[in-house]
Chain A
């Protein structure tokens, strides 16, 4: 199992450019999510999905779009990059066990800089 993979590892964009961060998992997990991690702050949820075709907003969704056409893939799209979106982005997946969601498996992250 490769677990959760993310591409690219690093990206530099100019303000106004768009791009897609890729995320894939091979553990057949229902639940996938995107977080951003900024210095001195906890991870913040951007968008999440509870299954193919189902997505919802997290805490900080503005400026980002997601879709989930398959169980394996959950891409994150930046519509028009802004310097405030400079951050490290993590994709995670999980499965439900009993009454709560089990441990999350995180990808290695994408470090994004917007100039």
Chain B
């Protein structure tokens, strides 16, 4: 069964600290992996998209890594800011189809001053 699991479910860190969010997937055949940021009460916003051949991609202070062999991805946030408080959603696409996206339940991150 195609599944995407994220950990931890929630995380609290202090402003200025780094953190890493995890995503494990059992999706086949793999096409690409996406990370989204969702602020409370708003729609998700794309952070990165990685295909099979890419193992790292950055967007400002956000760096995503992908290990297609172990079917794991991580999202690393550097020097966190209060505005990073949000849910982070991992999405895996299989077969490249528009309807072939499996969404994780997300990790809720709270950055405290």
Contacts and interface: CB of A to CB of B under 8 A. Distances in A.
Interface of A: 4, 31, 33, 35, 40-45, 48, 50, 56, 58, 90, 92, 94, 96, 99-109
Contacts, number: 58
Contact of B34 (A40, A45, A103): A103
B99 A45 contact: yes
Given A102-B49, A103-B49, A41 B96 contact: no
Interface string B79-113: 00000000001010100111101111110000000
Given A42-B103, A43-B103, A44-B103, A108 B43 contact: yes
B51 interface: yes
Given A31-B98, A41-B105, 16 more contacts: A42-B4, A42-B104, A45-B101, A48-B98, A50-B98, A58-B99, A94-B98, A100-B31, A100-B51, A100-B96, A101-B98, A103-B34, A104-B46, A106-B45, A107-B43, A108-B41
Contacts of A50: 98
Interface of B: 4, 31-32, 34, 41-46, 49, 51, 89, 91, 93, 96-99, 101-106
Contacts of A105: 46
Nearest to B5: A42
A44 B102 CA distance: 8
Contacts of A94: 98
Nearest to A45: B99
B105 A40 contact: yes
A48 B44 CA distance: 17
Contacts of B41: 108-109
Contact of A42 (B32, B93, B97, B102): B102
A76 B31 CA distance: 28
Contacts of B46: 103-105
A48 B89 contact: no
Contacts of B104: 42
A108 B106 contact: no
Contacts of B102: 42
A16 B103 CA distance: 30
A14 B72 CA distance: 43
